Structure 1
Amino acid sequence: MRRIIITCLIILSSFIIFSEKIEAKTEENKDSEETTILFKQDIPDNEKDRILDNMDLEVEYEIPEINLVTVQANNLEVNRIRNNDEIESVNKSTTVFQPRNNTDTVTVEQQANDLDLWNYQWDMKEVTSNKKSYNIHTPSTKTVVGIVDSGIYQDHPDLTNSIVKGSKNLVPKGGYNGTEPSETGDITDTNDKMGHGTGVAGQITANGLMKGAAPGIGIKSYRVFGTKSAKTPWILKGIVEAANDDVDVINLSLGEYMLVNGKYKDGKNDSAEYQAYKRAIDYAYKKGSIVVAAVGNDGVNLNNKTELTNTLNARIQDNKIIHGKVLDMPGALNKVVTVGSTGPTGEISTFSNYGKNFVDVLAPGGDFRLLEKYGEEKWNNDLLFEQELLMTTSITGTYYYDAGVSYAAPKVSATLGLIIDKKGWKNNPSKTMNHLKRYSSYKKDITGMEKNLDIFNIISH
């Protein structure tokens, strides 16, 4: 009998990496701020360079494939940019991604016979029909899931054999607003400093003491988080780079609420980033990559405009929404497979956003019903968390418990990878996505008729 260390994250709010808004400055005499410029799609590179040179604007971050750049600009310069006919959209960069994991953690020692962790994986038992799907098809690392996240701990014994060459770091030098001196901008610096990406990877491909949804399938990291936050263009860059690398499935266990039209109190909105998201998703789709995105962890009905507006307003300070349309992005886009979360009872998780005709597939991401029923002390002392949180891989080389839609999405990404690998449907996203939706099972709950992940049934057909 040996002991393993399993870390249980006591998380009482949301768990997906989700966005916050930063307060915008509105007076004309304020200093320059980071500004997103989306040029028209067909503008030549030399014309784009000429416009930026004439305005004396220096590019800080660039995604040439979708003609997006970020620059430092004040309000007068933004108005000049907006009046240029070659520019599709421009706005002050007001969105950032931040992890929503509670930092209050407790370490739990558990005994496991022969280090077999399967009995702790209620979620994998459910989606694989208690390992039956593993017997239908063994995937190869030739099929790759790209993880746009915080990186992957490359020496984890359950993951190391699945990591393929070519992972990339997309965090620029200095990291978030220059506050991360350890970030050098080195494209090869892909090791996970936060832990979220490693946990996501375990749900996809773990093939050791614990099992993922597709044990052994290839994974590649596109690191967009350091130890703090990520910015929207970094996420978009991750999508584009993964598509350029011919990745089969792109997993986004992250997202943000966007004001796609209308205006905040300062008169701005998130239109440039919204349009850029559409371009990045379209670009990936045309390249043959399928993008999978988790919805938010706020328990919001995504068909209720008031709930969405109130949720976004709760995240911002003085720059409230005056009017306009809010979307849960990028899951709101048509070419994205959008994932919500269920708990061990099969009900939608208490924290998961939901919405009929919005969420494509539901998959296990954990729950907090037992926590809410019995309280934190009993939930911890009686190990009730084992019954509703899920286990995954840690940056310490061990395992931890967690919950969130972040861990539902990678199960769906893994399943899409299995379909592609088994059927040879590389670069055929439409056929693969339709197969997933057709053979997922149905369960009626508060979301209406939603499709639930059933890997055994999906890859049996």
Structure 2
Amino acid sequence: MKKIVYSLIILLFLVTISISTASKVHASEDKLTIYVLTKKNVQDNVFKKMIENYTRTDVVYEVPEIGLYQVTGSQEELKKLVSHNNIVKNHTLNTTKNSHKTLVNAQTTNNQNINIPKWQDLQWDISRLTSNGENFITKSNNNNTTVAIIDSGVNNHPDLKEALNISKNLVPKGGNNGQEELETGDISFHSDFLGHGTMLAGQMASNGFSKGLYPGLKINSYRVFGSESAESIWVIKGIIEAAKDDSDVINLSLIEYISRGDNINEHGQIDSTDKIKYEAYERAINYAKSNGSILVTSIGNQSLNLKDKTQIYKYWKDINPSLSTNRKIYAVPASFKDVVSVGSINHENIISNFSNYNSADIYTYGGDNRLVDSIGSEEYISNRMFEKEWILALSPQGGYTYSFGTSLSAAKVSAIAAAIIEKNNYKDKPDLTERALYNMTNGNKDKLLLELQ
């Protein structure tokens, strides 16, 4: 067999990413930026007309379809604005500033030359799901089924030729807290700095040296992560935009932990940030489903039992030390009933040691790191043991990388959901698509998605 010498960058990348919170103070102490959530029956033009009455306030980011806005202004003017109870349902004036960084771990060794006779030797996950390549999903000539990836963008890659259908940047100028200098705010700016979105696209649509489950699938990319992290409102905007663009499947390989109710900050004040975000996510998901999209989400890489309230609260408290609540904490958006939540299993069909659990609707291959924990990283890398349990994925530089995470599992399920829609003419029928997807586990009590038929 002819061997191809290929340069491969090995990257350990924890590939479910988290989201920063949004209420913050700008450089000028007199200026605040807050969330405002209007009542459901309030039209956008009504809210905007009200804003005009306050000369020192401006809308800086908006999702008018669900009544979610970021508004900047003086504390005095904002206080008057949010007092309109007939229009404003909730707001985040006088809340605690929090900034959660993206959860990314990276370990790199450069330019290792390896012999690659065929893709099956490295993509054990795709090989198993497709019966060694016999059951790849194939696209009909007359169908326009698309999957939206709401993530860090998707770079051009040799294995993704003609896969990108729509690309929109939803990160505003300056990015998170105005600190990301590379963020221009241009809707056409689409560089994937984190590499996460490019990886997801590869799991779905790669059709080159590496293979995705659905080679050639059309991808709609909505860039909501900048060079560091994202704000919840950008992600929510992405859900709305994907639905408006008639995306059949919306992939959300991201997670954040939020309370459904008000929290109390260190000064004893009510902090409504979580409460607003929870309802905004709920409105966005309902909007997308009512427009015919099925939403697929990852359940997170924190090894948490998502039915253990104490464990989830402790994790939330560790990243929100200045807040307290007596309300249940949710892993969002995976916890919503109108999404398909996906966890990870390893090469032995066991729940991966990083994967959250006791919440997923479906589990499929996302890798593992049990072996590296047992033998150590030096032997693991030098003897190429990572090939046994990590997942080959696309790197944003145009090469390849090894990764693991529930994000990769969710991407695979998104591709399969697209195939179900196309095969059965289930466009705009998310409930039927979801039912067919669950049927693919063949009644497996562990809900494992092991092989395409």
The alignment's TM-score, normalised by the length of structure 1, stands at 0.89
Distance, in Å, in 2 between the alignment partners of 1:227 and 1:120 is: 29
Look up the SS of the partner of 1:158 in the other structure.
helix
Unaligned runs of 5+ in 1: 444-448
Answer yes or no: is 1:361 the counterpart of 2:357.
Answer: no
Question: Are positions 1:85 and 2:82 aligned together?
Answer: no
Question: Residues 278 and 93 from structure 1, CA distance in 2 versus in 1: closer, same or farther, beyond 3 angstroms?
Answer: farther
CA distance in 2, matches of 1:97, 1:212: 32
1:44 shift after superposition: 2.4
Task: Give the Cα–Cα distance (whole angstroms) in 1 for the partners of residues 114 and 10 of structure 2.
Answer: 15
- Give the partner amino acid of 2:15: F
Deviations 1:306-359 (A, max 9, x none): 111111111234x1324222100001111111111111111111111111xx31
The letter for the 1-side match of 2:292 is G
Q: CA deviation at 1:410?
A: 0.3
In structure 2, the residue matched to 1:446 is none
SS of aligned partner of 1:363? strand
Which residue matches 2:36?
37
- What per-residue deviation string (whole Å, max 9, x for no partner) do you get for residues 159-209 of structure 1? 022112x31111111222222232221111123222111011100110111
Structure 2 letter corresponding to 1:60: V
State the identity as a percent. Answer: 36
1:77-121 Cα deviation digits (max 9, x unpaired): 66551562322222248676643221332235243345x222111
Partner of 1:2: 4
> Over aligned residues, Cα RMSD in angstroms?
2.3
**Quick one: structure 1 residues 322 and 244, their matched pair in 2 at CA, closer, same or farther if it must change by over 3 Å?**
closer
Q: How much has 1:19 moved relative to structure 2? A: 3.1
Cα distance, 1:93–1:431 mapped onto 2, change above 3 Å: farther
Is residue 451 from structure 1 mapped to residue 447 from structure 2 by the alignment? yes
Matched, 1:169 2:169: yes
Q: 2:129 aligns with which of 88, 103, 127?
A: 127
Q: What TM-score, normalized by structure 2, do the two folds share?
A: 0.91
Distance 1:104 1:111 in 2: 18
> Is the alpha carbon distance of 1:31 and 1:345 closer, same or farther for their aligned partners in structure 2, counting shifts above 3 Å?
farther
Q: Distance in 2 between matches of 1:311 and 1:31?
A: 34
AA in 2 matched with 1:51: M
Contact (CA 8 Å) 1:96, 1:229: kept in 2 or not?
Answer: no
Equivalent residue number for residue 240 of structure 1: 240
Q: How many residues are paired up?
A: 440
1:3 positional shift: 1.9
| Equivalent pair of 2:20/2:232 in contact (CA under 8 Å) | no
What is residue 435 of structure 2 aligned with on the other side? Answer: 434
Any idea what SS the aligned residue of 1:452 has?
coil
8 Å CA contact 1:82, 1:89 repeated in 2: no
Unaligned runs of 5+ in 2: none
Q: 1:139, CA displacement in angstroms?
A: 5.2
Residue by residue over 1:230-260, the C-alpha shift from the partner in whole angstroms, topping out at 9 and shown as x without a partner, is 1111001111001000011111111200122
SS of the counterpart of 1:222? strand
- Equivalent residues in 2 for 1:381-392 (5 A)? 381-392=382-393
Partner SS, residue 435 of structure 1: helix
Would the aligned equivalents of 2:20 and 2:231 in 1 still touch at CA under 8 Å?
Answer: no
Kept in 2: contact 1:128–1:454 (CA 8 A): no
- The correspondence of residues 264-279 of structure 1 with structure 2, limited to 5 A, is 264-266=264-266, 267-269=270-272, 270-279=274-283
Letter in 2 for 1:44: Q
Matches within 5 A, 1:112-261: 112-114=115-117, 116-134=118-136, 137-138=138-139, 142-154=144-156, 156-164=157-165, 166-261=166-261
Contact 2:262 2:275 in 1 (8 A): no
**Which residue number in structure 2 is paired with residue 413 of structure 1?**
414
Superposition map of 1:268-347 within 5 A: 268-269=271-272, 270-317=274-321, 319-347=322-350
